[in-house]
Chains A and B, each alone.
Chain A
């Protein structure tokens, strides 16, 4: 096209005039929401799966990780879904149910909490009083509650959170970290295998493998429909032989490096039947 002076101006002006009359591309947020790809990471929020259950494990890692401690777990249905709330624990009247714990592989611990029934929290108050409501003594408080009830009821944790001012996420985070604290009532006994280097040399590995296989349970979990839990012994008992298996606090004597696997199978047979 020969360079007519002004032709560019005219064509430019014509273009903008046509644009003036064309439909506009603005998405009228928030009345209309833009079409975003399903795996877009642009905004972090809790999502539900195809059955409508929330894809949140309530592992409290986000609450623990938040450097300004502004995340807490809790609340019931808001807009048809549970929400991760940002704010202090005292604001929330109800705590989340154990459905997330169920999906995480832990057994539904507190049937009472699932139905919303409450426990008698007098003992909790006494324990709190004895520890001066100090959240720094959380481990001691939790151990005492476990001693009183046999496990950690959700209601008790709520009470502890409310009374000490420690956020429920922190209380829950502490309670789930330490292996001697339990959430399931009724699991009172344990089969503990020592995994120290001496025991490993003596065949603890095969004992663990066999027990895990026979009971179809991973170590650290409760054996289903029983009051037993399979766990690792935290510390070898002084003077006990290797490999060491402790049941109800009693080291087992008829176990040795050679018969480790068969001994474990026999034990599983005794308990499973």
Chain B
């Protein structure tokens, strides 16, 4: 039959297109039939729907973010080591972490015989969930927060602490004394640093009077001098150190010190389960960076408010029939416009190559233009981009620390938390309270 003569791509299309067509037709039919009813239901339960959509989107973006972070780590540490890092797979090696992810998926998922199977199976799930559920309260932008409820900060620390349980579960159920040691160390480290972590933000809470993250972000509105990092420097330092320890990053990564105890608590895990731990860790890094930037660096507030009064207020409705015409012609004209210099530049460039180049250039330029317009015109876009800039700067700092600093010994690490950070955070609370009292007078 003709099936045999199809290429693999052709076969995929041959299956996909009818399915899509059918699906599309069915959806359209359903929408026409029940569209009104669906819209009404959504309208009635808007908050729930909004939450659902937000949660789904958040979960969906977390995995690509983890890939991105893995890639950043490989690349930045390499550049700091005067190496190049991944550069063959994908442009500048960008697809490398995807390949790593796929590799982890394809590895054999082996359960050692004497493990405590239900605990062993659930441990990665618990750790992963702990990370992801905290993702829900991060205020990416005032309009883009999944759950902006009043106890956001408390919720964050509470759910974040759940990962300790997951680590202990992993260490214990592995039936491996070294994994157990790693798990216990990780748990001890986590709970030791939780206290300075929570105590250091008490100063912020005193200043803003609220545990809600969107409100904390809003309290830093204005210029960058309003950011809490300047108003609570000691708290910022303590918080930064504590989140490094909470995320098991160097110099506090005893739990997973590759060079010392294989993978610590995760030694017995392989395949997809190890992938869970791996991804959970990188998402954790992103989350704590996001939290730091939300609480101390002003979140989605730009450093300086610049009032862009865009003069380009095109009433698109005015164009009438011209709008579809322009929409149709613009790509064509743009391609030709960008292709012309390419074609004239060198005799080796053939016509079709110039056209493709022109199309790509037009695509890039128009996307950049639309992006800039969105940044200027649409507040969510601008806020999100500012938030991401700050978060990724923090991520860069974490990676930078990993590429530079040696690891702290477990006793040094614990001693530091209890003997230095805890008193320092208490000092910070007293100082803040005192200052508020004086200023309030």
Interface residues of A (CB under 8 A from B): 9, 12-13, 15-17, 19-20, 22, 24-26, 28
* Contacting pair B82 A24 (CB below 8 A): yes
In the bound assembly, the distance between CA atoms of A25 and B82 in angstroms comes to 6
Residues of B contacting A25 with CB < 8 Å?
82-83
Residues of A contacting B401 with CB < 8 Å?
13
* Contacting pair A24 B404 (CB below 8 A): no
List B371-414 residues whose CB lies under 8 Å from chain A: 400-401, 403-405
Interface pairs (6), CB distance under 8 Å: A12-B404, A13-B400, A16-B400, A20-B80, A22-B82, A26-B84
In the bound assembly, the distance between CA atoms of A9 and B404 in angstroms comes to 8
Residues of B contacting A28 with CB < 8 Å?
84
* Contacting pair B80 A16 (CB below 8 A): yes
* Contacting pair A20 B79 (CB below 8 A): yes
B81 at the interface (CB under 8 A from A): yes
Closest B residue, CB atoms, query A13: B404
Closest 5 CB pairs of A and B: A16-B80, A16-B404, A26-B84, A12-B404, A25-B82
* Contacting pair A26 B83 (CB below 8 A): yes
Q: How many A-B residue pairs have CB under 8 A?
A: 33
Residues of A contacting B84 with CB < 8 Å?
24, 26, 28
List B78-105 residues whose CB lies under 8 Å from chain A: 79-84
Size class of B's contact patch? 10 to 19
Residues of A contacting B82 with CB < 8 Å?
19, 22, 24-26
Closest B residue, CB atoms, query A8: B405
* Contacting pair A20 B404 (CB below 8 A): no
B119 at the interface (CB under 8 A from A): no
* Contacting pair B76 A20 (CB below 8 A): yes
- Given A9-B405, A12-B404, A19–B80 Cβ distance below 8 Å? yes
Given contacts A15-B404, A19-B81, 5 further A-B contacts (CB under 8 A): A17-B400, A20-B79, A25-B82, A25-B83, A26-B84
Distance from B71 Cβ to chain A, minimum over Cβ atoms (Å)? 16
Distance from B141 Cβ to chain A, minimum over Cβ atoms (Å)? 30
In the bound assembly, the distance between CA atoms of A167 and B401 in angstroms comes to 60
In the bound assembly, the distance between CA atoms of A19 and B405 in angstroms comes to 14
In the bound assembly, the distance between CA atoms of A9 and B80 in angstroms comes to 15
Question: A-facing mask of B217-236, CB < 8 A → 1, else 0?
Answer: 00000000000000000000
Distance from B77 Cβ to chain A, minimum over Cβ atoms (Å)? 9
* Contacting pair B400 A24 (CB below 8 A): no
Distance from A133 Cβ to chain B, minimum over Cβ atoms (Å)? 44
Question: A-facing mask of B45-87, CB < 8 A → 1, else 0?
Answer: 0000000000000000000000000000000100111111000
Distance from A113 Cβ to chain B, minimum over Cβ atoms (Å)? 46
Contacting B79 at CB < 8 Å: which of A12, A13, A15, A24?
A24
Distance from A143 Cβ to chain B, minimum over Cβ atoms (Å)? 58
Distance from A5 Cβ to chain B, minimum over Cβ atoms (Å)? 10
In the bound assembly, the distance between CA atoms of A88 and B80 in angstroms comes to 49
In the bound assembly, the distance between CA atoms of A72 and B400 in angstroms comes to 53
List B398-441 residues whose CB lies under 8 Å from chain A: 400-401, 403-405
In the bound assembly, the distance between CA atoms of A127 and B309 in angstroms comes to 100
Distance from B404 Cβ to chain A, minimum over Cβ atoms (Å)? 4
Distance from B395 Cβ to chain A, minimum over Cβ atoms (Å)? 14
Closest B residue, CB atoms, query A14: B404
In the bound assembly, the distance between CA atoms of A15 and B83 in angstroms comes to 15
In the bound assembly, the distance between CA atoms of A22 and B80 in angstroms comes to 9
* Contacting pair B405 A24 (CB below 8 A): no
In the bound assembly, the distance between CA atoms of A12 and B76 in angstroms comes to 16
Residues of A contacting B404 with CB < 8 Å?
12-13, 15-16
Residues of B contacting A20 with CB < 8 Å?
76, 79-80, 400
Distance from A22 Cβ to chain B, minimum over Cβ atoms (Å)? 7
Residues of B contacting A13 with CB < 8 Å?
400-401, 404-405
In the bound assembly, the distance between CA atoms of A22 and B81 in angstroms comes to 10
In the bound assembly, the distance between CA atoms of A181 and B105 in angstroms comes to 64
Distance from A65 Cβ to chain B, minimum over Cβ atoms (Å)? 37
Closest A residue, CB atoms, query B77: A16
In the bound assembly, the distance between CA atoms of A9 and B81 in angstroms comes to 17
* Contacting pair A16 B83 (CB below 8 A): no
In the bound assembly, the distance between CA atoms of A12 and B404 in angstroms comes to 6
Closest B residue, CB atoms, query A23: B82
In the bound assembly, the distance between CA atoms of A88 and B401 in angstroms comes to 56
Residues of B contacting A16 with CB < 8 Å?
80, 400, 403-404
Residues of A contacting B400 with CB < 8 Å?
13, 16-17, 20
Residues of B contacting A15 with CB < 8 Å?
404
Residues of B contacting A22 with CB < 8 Å?
82
Residues of B contacting A12 with CB < 8 Å?
404-405
In the bound assembly, the distance between CA atoms of A19 and B82 in angstroms comes to 6
Closest B residue, CB atoms, query A17: B400
Closest B residue, CB atoms, query A18: B80
Distance from B403 Cβ to chain A, minimum over Cβ atoms (Å)? 5
Residues of A contacting B80 with CB < 8 Å?
16-17, 19-20
Closest A residue, CB atoms, query B79: A20
* Contacting pair B83 A24 (CB below 8 A): yes
In the bound assembly, the distance between CA atoms of A19 and B81 in angstroms comes to 7
In the bound assembly, the distance between CA atoms of A71 and B83 in angstroms comes to 38
Closest B residue, CB atoms, query A26: B84
Residues of A contacting B79 with CB < 8 Å?
19-20, 24
Residues of A contacting B405 with CB < 8 Å?
9, 12-13
In the bound assembly, the distance between CA atoms of A242 and B404 in angstroms comes to 86
Closest B residue, CB atoms, query A21: B79
Distance from B118 Cβ to chain A, minimum over Cβ atoms (Å)? 43
Residues of B contacting A24 with CB < 8 Å?
79, 82-84
- With most chain B CB atoms within 10 A of its CB, the pick from A9, A19, A20, A22 is A20
In the bound assembly, the distance between CA atoms of A20 and B77 in angstroms comes to 8
